[in-house]
Structure 1
Amino acid sequence: MDNLYKYNKEIKYSALFAGMISSFSMSFMGSSINIALPAIGLEFSMGAVMLGWIATSYLLTTAIFQVPLGRLADIYGRKNFFIAGLLIFAFASFFTIFINSGFLFILLRVIQGVGGSMVFGTSVAIITSVFDGNERGKALGWHVSSVYTGMTAGPFLGGILTHNFGWRSIFVINTILCLIAVSFVLLKLNAQWAEAKGEKFDLFGSLIFGPAIFSVIFGLTNINKNGILFLVLGLLLIGLFIIVELKIKQPIINMQLFINNKVFAFSNLAAMIHYSSTFAVGFMMSLYLQYVKGFTPQNAGLVIMIQPVIMMIFAPIAGRLSDKKHPGKIASLGMGITALGLFLLIFLNQ
């Protein structure tokens, strides 16, 4: 029955629109909240470490739940999980408007992470299910462009919203965007796209995966205290997880891909290194520009949005180049430019 929806124009573009709205919303949230951090820290008396957990708690929760929940969506239906993720994200965004403590803020960011993991794990999968091979690349291109648009608009619009209406207005916008995406899915999409229906869920692997990721991230962020113990525990759990996944017929992560496909393995490794090294830049620059340089949120946003704008411009160019040249060389050049930019930040001073 689901195959009938692949070639229905209304279904295809409704799915694409819902995916683009949800991706824009979550990338917009991630980039705009960095601009609002000084205002949030001032209101709740939070230091730099606690402010860091506003971003870390969301990303950590997403990392823990995305793989298991994505697998469950493949078994029981991606549409239901997509809707549930959007509603959870909207619920957490809405109640963030009324909080009065930093602890509640971080707790709601954790809930947002659960919702975000359900959306991230299903939106692209739904789009690839409704578009055939001739149109899939174009559809995914539009989906990626919505992510970059959200990253670009976040610092600028987030700065304007925070400066003129307060940081809570960012969460109002995200609540509305999520509800718009939900309405499109409910009204236009009837299929579930449960392509792994009837297969077993790897519960044991999932129970190892979550604590392993948490221990590694918590250990790295608290390395000067007792973090080394968590880091060692996390690495041991990752080793156990790999052993378990290699023995299970229907694992949540197919470890054979990393063993048999070197391009896939090293591409993931390169992506992890790149995002690990660059993610903190937006966080630190927001604090530096507003605390040290005295910028308003609006002006700080104008500076920080330069990076996603450049990414938005050069991503399609790099994509076209990778069709003609060796992708590894293009990626290596990008990593080299990133390393140079990070090196120059060493000399940043007052």
Structure 2
Amino acid sequence: MSAQTHPRIILAMLLLNSFAVPLMLSSANVALPTIANELSLTAIALSWVPMAFLMASTMFVLIFGRLADNIGRKRVFLVGTAAVIVTSLIASLSQSDVMLLTARFLQGASAAMLHATQMAIISSVFPANQRGKYIGLVTGSIYIGLSAGPLLGGLVIDSVGWRAAFLMHVPLAAMVLIMGVFFVHDEWRGEKSIPFDLRGAVGWIISILLFCLGVSRLPNTDSYLLLLASAVSITLFIRHARTTLHPLWDVKLFFGNRTFTLSAAASLMMYSATYANVVLLSLYLQSVKGLSASSAGMIMMIQPAVMALGSPIMGRLSDRLEPRWLASAGMAVTAGGLFVLANLHPDSSLMYVAIALLMTGGGFALFSSPNVNAIMGSVEAKHFGSASGAVATTRLIGQLNSMVLVTLVVGLVMGNTLISADSIPQLARAIDLSFAIAGLICLPGIAFSLARGRLHSKPA
């Protein structure tokens, strides 16, 4: 339906939200070494602090995307905003690793409501020939939040403590909630209400749960059984999705739309390669280099700051130039930056780190908005909800893969040991190996991006 509320009000609500949640996420990543010290977490347990969030978001983003198409995208968006506020308060009060991980899981489930609706609302409100511009603005706002989080979070952590990292965004989220309830009067749904795929939802949740548990148990024997069960469950989920009339995730888009499929695959590779950067750098700068949280945050903000500056420009550019060329070049630059980071040493200069982050941030800015524009521009309006859910799902699966990679490498290199002065050499080796594997992951992503085909028609 067309919006009666002024589009600028809707855009302001989305931009504020797209800044607030990443602000919390990036500041929480800066807090990881402090959390490990205060709660006496092992390296593997610490890796679960971000992974629990991602696991829950991945489990529920498809479910909330489908519910939003049926009951209203704004409604799900606002419920998610309120839930993020509540779960953030719970996380800030955590007294043990179990309580913190539980809160992070609930946070991730709440954020899934936002991931599933944000791009769908943008695509519902703004015309196709301006979609890249507004996707770029929202993406840029996300990266501004990611860039502000390390600096502001570091300062707050050094002065107040790690619990404040989970509260910084709460006033902003409250403003989003007020705007949505009192000033945005419209609602957006799919063209028609369709039955909810309960069987598919249960299968998807089980698949992700088995996968994460399996990886966390490596190299124990039971991990292989869990991973095998996950593979069987995912296969059954895809088969069900292809044969049922109203699947949770319309995977037929992947089998009948080349541009959509390869764009989503490129997104999966990019996020698999890059998401864990902030976690690895937080550990490197604070645990290996011995910097304070605020000093580490100043270095870590370089990458998302470059993303924030470049994403709106690239979004506009992708309305005129072929997204595949922009996105492919961006992934190649990012791969170069990751290989630079794979050669970090305890005595590496901060300038060396900064140059690598300029490369990864610039490459990601070149990739992100054009790739999302290609995905949303390759489907009809009636599929905006499914496509938005696919964008969020591939991104979250990629982010989850990235954290799974870190968890696996840290577990194999360090085992179940506490992060301490004695384990610093092992931690440094795990960080370098993770960056090297991440750079290699980009290579098939470049091939997918180049092979996706033309989105824009040739000019007359």
Q: TM-score, normalised by structure 2?
A: 0.71
Unaligned runs of 5+ in 1: none
Give 2:458's aligned residue.
none
Name the CA shift for 1:121/1:127 in 2 (closer, same or farther; >3 Å). same
Give 1:123's aligned residue.
118
Name the CA shift for 1:196/1:218 in 2 (closer, same or farther; >3 Å). farther
Give 1:255's aligned residue.
251
| Partner residue of 2:174 out of 160, 171, 179 | 179
Unaligned runs of 5+ in 2: 347-460
**Segment of structure 1 superposing worse, 183-192 or 235-244:** 183-192
| Counterpart-to-counterpart distance in 2, 1:271 and 1:101 | 35
Identity %: 34
| Counterpart-to-counterpart distance in 2, 1:279 and 1:239 | 26
* C-alpha displacement of 1:170: 2.1
- In structure 2, give the amino acid aligned to 1:61: A
* C-alpha displacement of 1:334: 2.1
Aligned pairs (5 A) from 1:124-139 = 124-133=119-128, 136-139=131-134
Name the CA shift for 1:328/1:42 in 2 (closer, same or farther; >3 Å). same
Say yes or no: does 1:303 pair with 2:309: no
Say yes or no: does 1:86 pair with 2:84: no
Give 1:25's aligned residue.
20
Write the deviation string for residues 239-276 of structure 1: whole angstroms up to 9, x where unpaired.
Answer: 11111111112212111211112222122112111211
| Partner residue of 2:93 out of 91, 98, 101 | 98
| Partner residue of 2:327 out of 327, 331, 334 | 331
- In structure 2, give the amino acid aligned to 1:119: L
Give 1:166's aligned residue.
161
Give 1:151's aligned residue.
146
Write the deviation string for residues 83-137 of structure 1: whole angstroms up to 9, x where unpaired.
Answer: 2111111001112222211211110111111110011112232233333446544
Aligned pairs (5 A) from 1:194-343 = 194-225=189-220, 226-319=222-315, 322-323=318-319, 325-343=321-339
Q: TM-score, normalised by structure 1?
A: 0.92
| Counterpart-to-counterpart distance in 2, 1:316 and 1:136 | 11
* C-alpha displacement of 1:213: 1.9
Please tell me whether the aligned partners of residues 14 and 185 of structure 1 are also in contact (alpha carbons under 8 angstroms).
no
**Segment of structure 1 superposing worse, 199-208 or 229-238:** 229-238
| Counterpart-to-counterpart distance in 1, 2:289 and 2:15 | 35
| Counterpart-to-counterpart distance in 2, 1:268 and 1:135 | 21
**Segment of structure 1 superposing worse, 219-228 or 78-87:** 219-228
- In structure 1, give the amino acid aligned to 2:162: W
Q: Secondary structure at the match of 2:190?
A: coil
Name the CA shift for 1:111/1:228 in 2 (closer, same or farther; >3 Å). same
| Counterpart-to-counterpart distance in 1, 2:81 and 2:53 | 15
Aligned pairs (5 A) from 1:37-76 = 37-76=32-71
| Counterpart-to-counterpart distance in 2, 1:61 and 1:208 | 14
* C-alpha displacement of 1:54: 0.8
**Segment of structure 1 superposing worse, 314-323 or 195-204:** 314-323
Write the deviation string for residues 203-233 of structure 1: whole angstroms up to 9, x where unpaired.
Answer: 1111111111222233234332232222221
Please tell me whether the aligned partners of residues 83 and 185 of structure 1 are also in contact (alpha carbons under 8 angstroms).
yes
| Counterpart-to-counterpart distance in 2, 1:331 and 1:301 | 28
Supply the RMSD in Å over aligned alpha carbons. Answer: 1.9
Please tell me whether the aligned partners of residues 7 and 130 of structure 1 are also in contact (alpha carbons under 8 angstroms).
no
Please tell me whether the aligned partners of residues 137 and 311 of structure 2 are also in contact (alpha carbons under 8 angstroms).
no
* C-alpha displacement of 1:306: 1.0
| Counterpart-to-counterpart distance in 1, 2:285 and 2:85 | 30
* C-alpha displacement of 1:25: 1.4
| Counterpart-to-counterpart distance in 2, 1:261 and 1:92 | 38
Please tell me whether the aligned partners of residues 81 and 119 of structure 1 are also in contact (alpha carbons under 8 angstroms).
yes
* C-alpha displacement of 1:66: 0.4
* C-alpha displacement of 1:329: 3.2
| Counterpart-to-counterpart distance in 2, 1:216 and 1:196 | 34
| Counterpart-to-counterpart distance in 1, 2:172 and 2:134 | 20
Give 2:187's aligned residue.
192
| Counterpart-to-counterpart distance in 2, 1:7 and 1:142 | 21
Name the CA shift for 1:135/1:347 in 2 (closer, same or farther; >3 Å). closer
| Counterpart-to-counterpart distance in 2, 1:349 and 1:220 | 27
| Counterpart-to-counterpart distance in 1, 2:116 and 2:241 | 19
Please tell me whether the aligned partners of residues 150 and 301 of structure 2 are also in contact (alpha carbons under 8 angstroms).
yes
Name the CA shift for 1:76/1:318 in 2 (closer, same or farther; >3 Å). closer
**Segment of structure 1 superposing worse, 126-135 or 160-169:** 126-135
| Counterpart-to-counterpart distance in 2, 1:104 and 1:194 | 36
Aligned length: 345
Please tell me whether the aligned partners of residues 4 and 186 of structure 2 are also in contact (alpha carbons under 8 angstroms).
no
